[in-house]
C-alpha cells in the first residue's frame, strides 16, 4: 500500500484582506507542519497581525482558503479556534488584576472551563509539566510580567493545543525568563505542537525556529531556514538591500550633569503601583543612560515623576539648573525637556486627531503658535518633515493617528520629539514593536542628538537595544535603581540579575571617557 504524505498542520492559500486604503494581506500562501516552530517576520505594517487574526478567527479574509490537517476550514471566531486547538498569546496581555490565575483562565475558556477546583488542579499540573510552575490561587496583580505571560501560555496549554501563536513573546522578559520560555517551546514542539513565532529579535529566531516566512507589503517576499542564516541576511530579507539594519556606536561619557535625581522617594497612589525608594540618577550632557527592567517595577512612576505627570517635592529633581520637581509638564518642556511615553495612543498621540494636530501638541513651543494663534502652514510643514525624515508610512499629514500601524506611529512620535532639539530627551521603549530598519533609523537619530550635546535617558525592556545605544547602564527593580556602570563594563548576565533585584555585583563607577564600542542586531 502506498503511503500518503502527512498534510501540514496549517495551510493558507491565497489569503487576502483589504481595508480601506490598505491591502493588509495580498495572496498569502503559508504551510506550517506539525511539531514545527515557524517564524513570521516582516516590517511594521507588513501584514503579520492581520494574518494572525485571520488564523485565530478575529478577522474574516476577503479571499483565500484555510486548511487544517489537510481539510478545508472556516474559523468562525476565537472560541471555535480554541476548540480546534489553536491558542494565541497576544503582545498585550488581557488579564484582570483583581482575579486569580484560575479565574482569569476560566473566563478565557468560557463554557469549556468546567469545575473551578478541577481547573485549578489542571493548571498546576500543566504548568509544572512544562517548567512554568505557577500558583493557580494567586491574584494576577501579585505576579511579575514574566509570570503573567506564563498565565497566558498556560491558558492555551490547559486545552488540547495543536498550534500556539506567540506575538513578540520575549519583549517583556529578562534573559533568564527567555531561556525558560524557549525550553518550554522546544518541549511543546517535541510533543507535536506547532508554534508560530512572531518576533523582531532575529537572534532569537535563529536560535529557536526551524523555518521562517517573510512578509513585505502584505505579500510573502521570501523564506529561509534561520539556522542557515545570520541576523544580517534575515534582516535584508525583511527590509531589502537599501535600508541600513546594523551599526555600532562609539561609547562616550559626558561630565556636565543635565538631569540629577537625588534620594527620590515617591509614594504611588495606584493600588497596583510601585513606590520609588531612595532613587538616585544622573544623566550628563552628551550621553545616553539606559535603564532596564521588567515592566511593573517602577518605570511608570519614574517616568511620570520626570515628565511632570506626577509632582515630586522640591529638592529631588534638578534639570537645567532648575528644581523641576514641583513644575508642570509644559514648564519642563519650556526648559528643553522632551518626552516619549510608553503608551502611544492616548498619551503619545491623540487617536482621533490628525498627524498635523498631533505634531502641534508638543511642538507648539517651536514657533508653531504665536500670540495664541496656530501657524497652520508651519505646523503642516513640521508634520511633513517628520513623515519624510522618519519614513512614516501614512496616507499623509491629514491621516488620524489611529490609522497608523504601531511602529509607524512610534516613528512619528520619536521624530516629533527629536526634531525639537531638546536639551533632555526621556524615551520609554523607543523601538518597541518597531521593525529592524526603523529601529536602526531611530537609534541613529538618538545618537546624533546625543552627539549634539543632549542628555538622553532611555527606559526599555530590550536589553540588546540598551547595550547597543547606552553609554551607561543600570536596572530598576521594585522601585530601586542599581548603580549605573559604563556599558562596556557591564554584561547581559549582570543586567539580568539586576532586573531581578540582585544589585550585589553593581558598583558605583565614576563617569570617565572610553573609546570602546558595543553593538548588537535585534
Q: Output the pLDDT for position 111.
A: 79
Round to whole Å and give the CA distance between 124 and 2: 44
Sheet of strand 37-42: strand arrangement: 86-89, 163-167, 194-198, 37-42, 211-216, 219-224
β pairing state of 257-266 and 276-284 = antiparallel
DSSP string of 123-158? HHHHHHHTT----TTSBGGGS-HHHHHHHHHHHHHT
Judging by beta carbons within 10 Å of its beta carbon (0-12, 13-18, 19+), is residue 370 exposed, middle or buried? exposed
Q: Output the pLDDT for position 508.
A: 41
Round to whole Å and give the CA distance between 487 and 463: 11
Q: Output the pLDDT for position 515.
A: 34
- The torsion region of residue 456 among left (phi > 0), alpha (psi -120 to 50) and beta comes to beta
Q: Which residues are CB-neighbours of 289 under 8 A, at least 6 positions away? A: 281, 283, 455, 456, 457, 458, 470, 471, 472, 473, 474, 484
Q: Output the pLDDT for position 519.
A: 33
Q: Output the pLDDT for position 89.
A: 87
Which grid cell sits at 259?
538631569
Angle between helices 436-451 and 406-418 (to 10 degrees): 10
Which grid cell sits at 438?
526603523
Judging by beta carbons within 10 Å of its beta carbon (0-12, 13-18, 19+), is residue 80 exposed, middle or buried? middle
What three-state secondary structure class fits 89? Answer: strand
Q: Output the pLDDT for position 2.
A: 53
Task: Tell me, letter by letter, the H, E, C secondary structure of 345-385.
Answer: ECCCECCCCEHHHHHHHHHHHHCCEECCEECHHHHHHHHHH
Terminal Cα distance for the chain, rounded: 50
Kindly give the confidence (pLDDT) of every residue in the chain, 522 residues in length, as a single tens digit, with 9 standing for 90 and above: 556 678 999 999 999 999 877 889 999 999 999 999 999 998 777 889 899 999 999 999 999 999 999 999 999 999 899 999 999 988 767 788 889 999 999 998 887 778 899 999 999 999 888 888 889 999 988 887 778 888 988 998 898 899 999 988 887 677 777 888 899 999 999 999 999 999 888 889 999 999 999 998 899 999 999 999 988 888 888 877 666 656 678 899 888 999 999 999 999 887 767 899 999 999 999 999 999 987 778 888 999 999 999 999 888 999 988 999 999 999 999 999 999 998 888 889 999 999 999 999 999 988 899 888 999 999 999 999 999 998 888 889 999 998 887 778 888 999 999 999 999 999 998 887 677 777 888 899 999 999 999 999 999 888 888 999 999 999 999 999 999 999 999 998 898 889 888 888 644 433 333 333 333 333
Judging by beta carbons within 10 Å of its beta carbon (0-12, 13-18, 19+), is residue 512 exposed, middle or buried? exposed
DSSP string of 93-115? ----TTSBHHHHHHHHHGGG---
Q: Output the pLDDT for position 119.
A: 93
Q: Name all domains of the chain by residue range, CATH numbers in brackets.
A: 10-239 (3.40.50.300), 249-336+422-518 (3.40.50.300), 352-415 (no CATH)
Q: Output the pLDDT for position 335.
A: 95
Q: Output the pLDDT for position 517.
A: 30
Round to whole Å and give the CA distance between 276 and 299: 9
Are residues 7 and 67 in contact, defined by beta-carbon separation less than 8 angstroms? Answer: yes
Amino acid at each position: 500500500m502506498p503511503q500518503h504524505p502527512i498534510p501540514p498542520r496549517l495551510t493558507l492559500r491565497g489569503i487576502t484582506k483589504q481595508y480601506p486604503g490598505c491591502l493588509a494581506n495580498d495572496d498569502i500562501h503559508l504551510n506550517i507542519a506539525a511539531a514545527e516552530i515557524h517564524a513570521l517576520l516582516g516590517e511594521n505594517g507588513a501584514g503579520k497581525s492581520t494574518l494572525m487574526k485571520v488564523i485565530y478567527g478575529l478577522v474574516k479574509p476577503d479571499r483565500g482558503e484555510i486548511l487544517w490537517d489537510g481539510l478545508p476550514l472556516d474559523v468562525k471566531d476565537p472560541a471555535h479556534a480554541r476548540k480546534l486547538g489553536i491558542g494565541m498569546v497576544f503582545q498585550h496581555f488581557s488579564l484582570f488584576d483583581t482575579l486569580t490565575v484560575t479565574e482569569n483562565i476560566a473566563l478565557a475558556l468560557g463554557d469549556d472551563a468546567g469545575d473551578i477546583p478541577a481547573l485549578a488542579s489542571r493548571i498546576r499540573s500543566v504548568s509544572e509539566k512544562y517548567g512554568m510552575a505557577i500558583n493557580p490561587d494567586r491574584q494576577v496583580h501579585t505576579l511579575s510580567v514574566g509570570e503573567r505571560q506564563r498565565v497566558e501560555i498556560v491558558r492555551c496549554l490547559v486545552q488540547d493545543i495543536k498550534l500556539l501563536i506567540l506575538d513578540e513573546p520575549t519583549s517583556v522578559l529578562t534573559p533568564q525568563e527567555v531561556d525558560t520560555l524557549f525550553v518550554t517551546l522546544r518541549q511543546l514542539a517535541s510533543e507535536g505542537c506547532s508554534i508560530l513565532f512572531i518576533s523582531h529579535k532575529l537572534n532569537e529566531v535563529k536560535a529557536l525556529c526551524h523555518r521562517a516566512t517573510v512578509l513585505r507589503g502584505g505579500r510573502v517576499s521570501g523564506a529561509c531556514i534561520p539556522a542557515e542564516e545570520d541576523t544580517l541576511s534575515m534582516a535584508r530579507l525583511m527590509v531589502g538591500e537599501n535600508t541600513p539594519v546594523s551599526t555600532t556606536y562609539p561609547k562616550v561619557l559626558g561630565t556636565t550633569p543635565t538631569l540629577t535625581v537625588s534620594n527620590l522617594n515617591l509614594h504611588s497612589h495606584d493600588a497596583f503601583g510601585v513606590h520609588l525608594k531612595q532613587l538616585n540618577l544622573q544623566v550628563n550632557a552628551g550621553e545616553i543612560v539606559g535603564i532596564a527592567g521588567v515592566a511593573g517595577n517602577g518605570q511608570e512612576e519614574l517616568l511620570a515623576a520626570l515628565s511632570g505627570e506626577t509632582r515630586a517635592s522640591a529638592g529631588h529633581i534638578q534639570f537645567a539648573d532648575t528644581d523641576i520637581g514641583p513644575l508642570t509638564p509644559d514648564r519642563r518642556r519650556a526648559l528643553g525637556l522632551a518626552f516619549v511615553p510608553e503608551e502611544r495612543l492616548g498619551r503619545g498621540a491623540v487617536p482621533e486627531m490628525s498627524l498635523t494636530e498631533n505634531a502641534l501638541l508638543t511642538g507648539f513651543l517651536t514657533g508653531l503658535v504665536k500670540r495664541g494663534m496656530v501657524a497652520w502652514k508651519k505646523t503642516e510643514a513640521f508634520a511633513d518633515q517628520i513623515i519624510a525624515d522618519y519614513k512614516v508610512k501614512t496616507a499623509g499629514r491629514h491621516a488620524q493617528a489611529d490609522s497608523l500601524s504601531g511602529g509607524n506611529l512610534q516613528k512619528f512620535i520619536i521624530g516629533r520629539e527629536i526634531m525639537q532639539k531638546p536639551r533632555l530627551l526621556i524615551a520609554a521603549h523607543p523601538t518597541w514593536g518597531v521593525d529592524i530598519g526603523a529601529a536602526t533609523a531611530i537609534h541613529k537619530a538618538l545618537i546624533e542628538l546625543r552627539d549634539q550635546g543632549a542628555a538622553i535617558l532611555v527606559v526599555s525592556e530590550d536589553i540588546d537595544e540598551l547595550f547597543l545605544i547606552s553609554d551607561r547602564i543600570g536596572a530598576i527593580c521594585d522601585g530601586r535603581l542599581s548603580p549605573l556602570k559604563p556599558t562596556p563594563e557591564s554584561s547581559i548576565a549582570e543586567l539580568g540579575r539586576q532586573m531581578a533585584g540582585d544589585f550585589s555585583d553593581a558598583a558605583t563607577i565614576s563617569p570617565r571617557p572610553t573609546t570602546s564600542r558595543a553593538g548588537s542586531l535585534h
